[in-house]
Amino acid sequence: MTMYQALQITEPEKGIFAQQVTTLDTDNLPPNELLIKVQYSSVNYKDMLSANGNKGVTRNYPHTPGIDAVGIVQRSSSERFKEGDQVLVTGYDLGMNTAGGFGEYISVPSAWVLPLPDSLSAEMAMIYGTAGLTAALSVDKLLQNGLKPAGQVLVTGATGGVGTVAVAILAKLGMHVVASTAKSDATDMLLMLGAKEVVGRDVLEASPKPLLKEQWDAVCDTVGGEVLGSAIKQLKHSGSVTTCGLVAGTAFNATVLPFILRGVNLLGIDSVEIPLSKKSEMWNLIGSAWNVPELAKATTTVNLHGLTEVLGKMKQGAVCGRYILKHD
Ligand SMILES: NC(=O)c1ccc[n+]([C@@H]2O[C@H](COP(=O)([O-])OP(=O)(O)OC[C@H]3O[C@@H](n4cnc5c(N)ncnc54)[C@H](OP(=O)(O)O)[C@@H]3O)[C@@H](O)[C@H]2O)c1
């Protein structure tokens, strides 16, 4: 029995959710192969959904969110890991219906776990987190579909977690990055990360037209909805757009015309259920050629007591850059 602290979400009345830093017991964690003492987690949009009772993310409460964790193995019944190993967990069921990284301990199957790459500190791994992994997967798919250095790439939701990291990686790879944001005070941060231009969200305003002026070799869309619909219509011939998010909605109006007249590609991104080998490939790139140390300057670190404020800002779309949790 080890007592530990966690941000727990409870449902005191049906449909009403509360957040509280609580003391819990590791004996009540699920009996998985690895018990991990968490050093850092990070804050992602899905954690905000879980903290606000979204049953598509978390079915039962009380619950501890946190879809990311880096920590030290305390107990292992897996041949892949031994006590003392430093490891990284992102996605699968962590923080959804399995207690997540907003607690000082997690218990998970070894099939969800990677060794932390030597080139990454625990802190840097969480500065990337699921948001950074998703950005890396998006960039990877754009490259696979023909994006070349100096390409004109628009990143939407540029001050969000995925957007921030996407701007940084794309700039490092030599793209001409245009960052779209509603936050005029975030221009300096986006330029510091390598954006060449910062534009407003109206660059992708909804339009009833089936095709719009060709502007982008690629779009890394992190918000979805009609923004994605307009991105498809503004792609140059053979261009590609990645879709990973839904903060601006799930539905969009489009026709087949951009696909059959301009040969554009709509590329879906999932960072959660992809094979562990693909996650490992991406984390190795993040630890080497795609590492952008400047991301630390766009990161805010909080402890368990600071999470509620960050989750509240995220609900309002008011976050800027990355937010990580450092356990005491
Ligand atoms: N598919 C996957 O595996 C995967 C993985 C990670 C995340 N996601 C999804 O990707 C999305 C972004 O995640 P995140 O962690 O980057 O979220 P985030 O940190 O909350 O950032 C979202 C950003 O979107 C913009 N935004 C917010 N509300 C908007 C609206 N109504 N219309 C247009 N833009 C809006 C804001 O940026 P500006 O103010 O700069 O415009 C905001 O900072 C979420 O939907 C998340 O669920 C999916």
pLDDT in tens, 175-205: 999 999 999 999 999 999 999 999 999 999 8
In angstroms, the CA 174 to CA 177 distance is 9
Tell me if 13 is assigned to some domain. yes
Q: Is the CB of 231 under 6 A from ligand 1?
A: no
Tell me if 212 is assigned to some domain. yes
Same domain, 68 and 139: no
Predicted local distance difference test score (pLDDT) of residue 74: 98
Tell me if 75 is assigned to some domain. yes
Give residue 61's domain range.
Answer: 3-116+294-326
178 Cβ contact list (under 8 Å, min separation 6): 152, 153, 154, 155, 195, 196, 197, 198, 199, 203, 216
CB count in 10 Å sphere of residue 153: 27
- Which ligand 1 atom sits closest to the C-alpha of 137? 3
| 3 state DSSP class of 218 | strand
In angstroms, the CA 280 to CA 71 distance is 17
Last residue of a domain, one of 250, 268, 286: 268
In angstroms, the CA 41 to CA 311 distance is 14
Q: Which residues of the chain have pLDDT under 70?
A: none
Place of tokens 């879709």: 243
Tell me if 80 is assigned to some domain. yes
Q: Is the CB of 314 under 6 A from ligand 1?
A: yes
- Which ligand 1 atom sits closest to the C-alpha of 43? 15
Same domain, 251 and 303: no
| 3 state DSSP class of 305 | helix
Q: Is the CB of 271 under 6 A from ligand 1?
A: yes
- Which ligand 1 atom sits closest to the C-alpha of 224? 45
Same domain, 24 and 66: yes
Predicted local distance difference test score (pLDDT) of residue 1: 86
Q: How far apart are the first and last CA of the chain?
A: 19
In angstroms, the CA 142 to CA 294 distance is 23
Pocket test for ligand 1, best of 222, 274, 314 (most atoms within 8 A of CB): 222
Predicted local distance difference test score (pLDDT) of residue 143: 98
Predicted local distance difference test score (pLDDT) of residue 328: 86
Predicted local distance difference test score (pLDDT) of residue 133: 98
In angstroms, the CA 86 to CA 297 distance is 24
Tally of domains within the chain: 2
Predicted local distance difference test score (pLDDT) of residue 141: 98
Q: Is the CB of 158 under 6 A from ligand 1?
A: yes
- Which ligand 1 atom sits closest to the C-alpha of 186? 40
In angstroms, the CA 213 to CA 154 distance is 14
In angstroms, the CA 42 to CA 101 distance is 8
Same domain, 81 and 153: no
In angstroms, the CA 310 to CA 228 distance is 26
Same domain, 140 and 263: yes
In angstroms, the CA 126 to CA 76 distance is 23
Predicted local distance difference test score (pLDDT) of residue 11: 96
The string over 102-118, giving b where at least 16 C-beta atoms fall within 10 Å of a residue's C-beta and e elsewhere, is bbbbbbbbbebbbebbe
Same domain, 230 and 172: yes
Tell me if 37 is assigned to some domain. yes
Note the pTM of the prediction, 2 decimals: 0.97
Tell me if 224 is assigned to some domain. yes
Q: Is the CB of 218 under 6 A from ligand 1?
A: no
Pocket test for ligand 1, best of 223, 279, 320 (most atoms within 8 A of CB): 223
Report pLDDT digits (tens) over 141-179. 999 999 999 999 999 999 999 999 999 999 999 999 999
Using left for φ > 0, alpha for ψ between -120 and 50, and beta otherwise, residue 137 falls in alpha
Predicted local distance difference test score (pLDDT) of residue 211: 97
| 3 state DSSP class of 133 | helix
Specify the CATH number for the domain of residue 194.
Answer: 3.40.50.720
- Which ligand 1 atom sits closest to the C-alpha of 163? 16
In angstroms, the CA 286 to CA 310 distance is 25
Same domain, 241 and 154: yes
Cβ contact 160:221 at 8 Å: no
- Between the CA of 223 and the centroid of ligand 1 the distance, in Å, is 5
Tell me if 276 is assigned to some domain. no
In angstroms, the CA 263 to CA 46 distance is 33
Same domain, 153 and 87: no
